Structure 1
Amino acid sequence: MTSPLQQKIKITGPSIVTANRTGDGAVIYRTPAHRWSDRLSDAAIVRTADDARALLAESVADDIGAVGAYIAPVEIGEDGIRPGNLREKIRQQGVTIDLLVSA
């Protein structure tokens, strides 16, 4: 399997880097301050493949705080940043199953 850093990156609009927090699995976003945030509004926005590759490489290197980092599209409107595809809309809503299991 090819590493995400070795794959050809195609950017067709504003994008961010997202991952899951190692402690609790929460969806998180890489910020311009080189940290992780659970708020999409804090995400660093990239617009070129080179910028996306650099942000992704930095994010993947932070494997203690986050796992599964990848580039995701976003839409930018008057009301702020919104997920740019169905997968990210679902991830932003939270888990899609009931985590409470009856004994």
Structure 2
Amino acid sequence: MTSPLQQKIKITGPSIITANRTWDGAVIYRTGANSWSDELRDAAIVRTADEARALLTEAVADDLGAIGPYIAPVEVAADGAVKPGNMREHIRLTGATIALPAQA
């Protein structure tokens, strides 16, 4: 398996770095302050491959706080609101697309 840092990075629009938090698996986003947030609105938005590579390098180095960081597309509205740029990220943000059975 190729490391995320060794893969060719292609950015076609606004993107973020996302991962899962190590201790509870929650979806988290890399911020501009080199930390993690569970709020998409706090994510650092990059627009070039070089920016994405730099942010991803920092995220990969933080293997105690997050696991599996990768670049994900986002959409930025005219008012600055950020929302997922594809179905996978929408599901990761909002949860399952079907009703799950109740746990006993």
Determine if the TM-score, normalized by the shorter chain, exceeds 0.5: yes
- The equivalent of 1:80 in structure 2 is 81
Label 1:99 to 1:20 Cα distance change in 2 as closer, same or farther (>3 A). farther
Q: Deviations over 1:20-58 (max 9, x none)?
A: 001110000000000000000000000000110110010
Give matches, 1:1-103, under 5 Å: 1-77=1-77, 78=79, 80-94=81-95, 98=100, 101-102=103-104
Q: Which moved more, 1:77-86 or 1:8-17?
A: 77-86
C-alpha root-mean-square deviation of aligned residues, in Å?
Answer: 1.6
Deviation of 1:101 after TM superposition, in Å, equals 4.1
Q: Percent identity?
A: 70
Q: Which runs of 5+ in 2 are unaligned?
A: none
Rounded to whole Å, the distance in 1 between the matches of 2:27 and 2:96 is 10
Displacement, 1:76? 0.2
Aligned length: 102
Deviates more, 1:41-50 or 1:70-79: 70-79
Large movers: runs of 4+ above 3 Å: 95-102
Shift of 1:79: 5.7
